[in-house]
Structure 1
Amino acid sequence: LGRWINPDPGGTIDGLNLFRMVSNNPLTLRDRSGLRGSGYIYVPFLSRDTVDIAIALYTQKYAVNKKPDIVVFSSRNEQLDFYEELKKRRSDFAAAMGKSLFEKYNTSDLSRKSLLNAGVKETEIKSTIMSIGNYLAINSMTLMNQQDDEIFSEISIGDKLKIIGHGSAGSAEISSGGLKSVTLSMHELAERLDFSGLPDQALQITLLPCQSGDELLEPVFIEGKSPFMRTRPSAAESLFYEMQARGYRRVTTAGYRGFGQIRGFLESTGSHHTQRKPNSITASDDIVRRRDAKEIFC
């Protein structure tokens, strides 16, 4: 009861994330999946870089036995192209491991996590366990697309929506990367989410591109006047106001300061998701946990 009557950012209707109420009545909730919500990785455009990022995010969760995210594409064709890339990588992983090594470790009485926690350092074990994890993770990926599946309209309180791509400070766009890079503005992204039926509820949309939480201070020169400095908002802040313009009042956005890094779990078990602060090239003191570089707009 104490949790029920406490204030919550979700408001008095369907709020209280810890208690997971339904229609302001905590007694009628039926949640077959438990208290942990679902995670969604939205791939707004397909490129070599976004394929790598989506696979890296998915396999990192698999490595630490967390519930994997659902990977969502804009179109059926992009989902099929991604699946073809997965098939190539599955065969690559299997060939690199060799059948004997796969059977040796995959059928072991010790789970992958037990081997990791035991502190084993042998190069063969470390590389093989990670290869098996990657192989199994890729085989288990759940793929959906906005054309065939009503994904975002089914998002509920406790779920997480992550957007991947490339970004820069003070930019209201994200890009696919690569030689034929495609850009997507925060205006267009907000339109896509609104058109897909995303509900207006206590939900955070997280932009994972580099510097998605960094604004940019730039000089402005006007003939006949003294120059002055202007601040260009971050992608995450731009997306927040675009969502507000479409009537969303409970949705928040988040971005990250600095440059994102995804390292192998075996290389850095405590901080395999990190951010390098802006204007930092090699200084290790400027490497922080991703959660410590997060900027939320609400």
Structure 2
Amino acid sequence: MRLVPKLDLARPSRRYILGYLLLAPALIMVAAIIIYPLLISLDLSFQNVKLARIGAARKPFTLGNYEKLIFSPDFWMACWVTLKLVLVVASACLVIGLGSALLVNNRFKGRTMARLLMALPWAVPEVIAVVIFAWIFDSSFGFLSWLFIQIGLADEMITWVSDPSAAFWAVALTMIWKGFPFVSIMTLAGLQSIPEDYYAAAKVDGASVFQRFRWITLPSLVPVLGVTLVLVVLWVFRDFSIIKVLTDGGPLKATTTLSIMTYDQAFGFFKFGYASAIGVVTLVICIVASLLMLRREDKSLM
């Protein structure tokens, strides 16, 4: 009788097998939770499915959903609104987050409380934050309209969620308030990793505050800011609850982003095939945008 040799996973040449075995449960879980639904959505996007049912026969293959997207003015309007929202929110979060991180990185009395207040909006659930801002933007007794009247920026109460332009800025301000603390926390962690010797040497050489920020702080923060910006852009792309609760995509589709349009087509009009096509296109846009930003970051580090 021939004995089967025992597999010794402790040997250096076979340790990679143990690593694969330990990673296998996580990979299977990721495939079941993320990859499999993506494949289902991709398959649905090539079918004319009104209402998806488990076990139903597969519909014929068609490109009709993507053809409809190309010639749909609502889709291009949603793309434009999403792009504007990404540019406004990501830029504002980057500037405010960087400034607040630089502020609380200094030593002063009450710094711990300042850091706590800076991170507080990120800890508040989105729905609660939207309810708070819904009261602030109220057209009858909202605080922001009252403030604009007091400082002379407006003559009467502003109908924030009824006017298309005002509704867009209401959504953008809510997202900025909710998103900038994440940038602040990530940037503060990057600032803490910069050695103090760099600044001490720069001071000895006579570098000003702006020069130290330009030649030491910013280059050291490029990797952190690059990854943070990618995460913020992806968050704005996929965010749903803020817009849904505050404006529901209106008025006149002024705040209808790709995520809102996907939801409306799937659960409002029960066009799951068309909604899946919108979701697939959104995913492709997010992947391309992320790759472009990460590639630009890599070039800046070279």
TM-score (normalised: structure 2): 0.24
Larger Rg: 2
Whose strand proportion is higher, 1 or 2?
Answer: 1
- Return the structure number with greater relative CO, CA threshold 8 A, min gap 6: 2
TM-score (normalised: structure 1): 0.24
Whose helix proportion is higher, 1 or 2?
Answer: 2
